[in-house]
Amino acid sequence: MTKHNPTFSVISGRQVQRALSGQEKLVTEIIEAAYHAHGEGRTVNPPSYFLQFPDRPTARIIALPASLGGDDGVDGLKWISSFPENVRSGLPRASAVLILNDPRTGYPYACLESSIISASRTAASAALAADRLTRERGRPTKVGFVGTGLIARYLHTYLAGTDWSFDEVGVHDLSADHAAGFADYLDRSGESGRVTVHDTVDELIRASDLVVFATVAGTPYVTDPELFAHHPVVLHVSLRDLAPEIILDSVNYVDDVEHCLKANTSPHLAEQLTGNRDFIAGTLHDVMTGRATVPTDRTVVFSPFGLGVLDLAVSAHVYDQVSRSGDLQVVEDFFHEMNRYGG
C-alpha cells in the first residue's frame, strides 16, 4: 500500500461565511439529515465537556467531540468559548474552532473557524423545529426574540431563508441599545413584519405565538406559567430561561434526552424537581418520523442542547465547498515526524 502523507488546512471565518451565505435551505436539509443519522444510531455523540473557571464564573469553554457515520463519515471536535463579558468591549460573546479528523487514519485534516458554523447549525436546527412543531397548528404570524445577539440574528436569517414570514416581530433585551440594534438589523434585512421593541419579557411573550429565547441566562427568570396561556411554540435555544414549573406545564421536545437533561438546563431542573422525565414528549427526530404527535392546544417547548454531530455535518459541507473552489489553505509540513525511525 502506498503511503500518502496527510495534509492539514485552515479555513477562515470569511471562507466559512462565503460557503454558507444564502444557503439556509441547504444547511437546514443537512441538519435534518444529521438528526436522522443520530436518531438511527449512526453517530457517536459523547457528553459535552465544560471547562469552567473559579475566578471567571460567567465564562466557560466547551468541548463537543462527535463522529458522523455513513459513506462520507467524519470525526471531529468543536471547541467553543462563551465569555459574556466580551460584549462590554465590543467583542462577540462566543468564539470557536472545529477540527475535522479523517475516520480512516485519525489524522486531523482541517481546522475551521466555527462561531459561524455553530450559529448556522443552531439556527437551522431551530428553523427545522419551528417547521415540524407547527405543521398541525399552522405557522405562527407573530414572533418574539428574547435576546438580540448573534444567535438571534442567525435565527431570524434562517427563518426568513426557509420561507417564514411574520406580521409582527417582537424584540426584547436587557440592554436597550442591543434591542435597538437588533431592530435596526431587522429593518435593514427587509423584514416586512411590524417590529416592536418590548420593555419586558412578559409583554413580549403575551404578544407572540412563536417565542425565541437566545440569551446568556444562567438561571430561570421567566416563572409565571400564565404568560403562556395562549399556548405558543417556544424555541428555548438558550436552555435556562424557563422555570421548571413552565416546563412541566408544557409539552416538551428536545434534540437528545441525555444531553439536554444535564448542566442545570430548565428541563434538567424539572427532572430534579419531579424525580422523573415524564414531561419529555420526545425528540425532534420522533416528531420528524411521526413517532410523536405534536398537540395544537398546549404550549410546546423545544429545548436543543446542541449536538456535535450537527457541527460536523455543516463543517464537512464547508470543507467540501472550499476544497472544490480551489481556495483551500494548506499548511505546508504541518505533520513533520512521518518516518517511524527518523531520517
Burial of 63 (0-12, 13-18, 19+ CB in 10 A): middle
* Strand ranges for 83-116 from DSSP E: 94-101, 108-113
d(CA 167, CA 142): 6
Domain CATH for 320: 3.30.1780.10
Is there a domain that residue 254 lies in?
yes
In terms of Cα–Cα distance, which of 49, 158, 124, 132 is closest to 317?
124
Say if CB 126 and CB 212 are below 8 A apart. Answer: yes
The three three-digit cell numbers of residue 196, written as one number? 416592536
pLDDT of 73: 85
pLDDT of 3: 53
- Judgement on whether residues 106 and 225 belong to the same structural domain of the protein: no
pLDDT of 343: 65
d(CA 303, CA 258): 12
- Judgement on whether residues 213 and 112 belong to the same structural domain of the protein: no
Q: Could you tell me the residue range of the domain that residue 76 belongs to?
A: 9-117+308-330
pLDDT of 313: 96
- What's the Cα-to-Cα distance from 152 to each of 91, 94, 316, rounded to whole Å? 16, 13, 24
- Judgement on whether residues 226 and 203 belong to the same structural domain of the protein: yes
Is there a domain that residue 342 lies in?
no
- Judgement on whether residues 144 and 269 belong to the same structural domain of the protein: yes
- Judgement on whether residues 38 and 152 belong to the same structural domain of the protein: no
pLDDT of 338: 79
Domains: count for the chain: 2
Is there a domain that residue 2 lies in?
no
d(CA 64, CA 26): 23
- Judgement on whether residues 156 and 272 belong to the same structural domain of the protein: yes
- Judgement on whether residues 163 and 203 belong to the same structural domain of the protein: yes
- What's the Cα-to-Cα distance from 328 to each of 16, 60, 78, 320, rounded to whole Å? 11, 31, 20, 9
Residue 79: its H or E element: strand 74-82
Considering the entire predicted model, what is its pTM?
A: 0.94
Say if CB 306 and CB 82 are below 8 A apart. Answer: no
Is there a domain that residue 340 lies in?
no
Q: Half-sphere exposure of 60 toward its Cβ, with a 13 Å CA cutoff?
A: 13
- Judgement on whether residues 224 and 159 belong to the same structural domain of the protein: yes
| Residue ranges in the chain modelled with pLDDT below 70 | 1-4, 343
Count CB-CB contacts under 10 A for residue 301.
27
pLDDT of 1: 37
Q: Report which DSSP code applies to 88.
A: G
Domain CATH for 295: 3.40.50.720
Say if CB 48 and CB 63 are below 8 A apart. Answer: yes
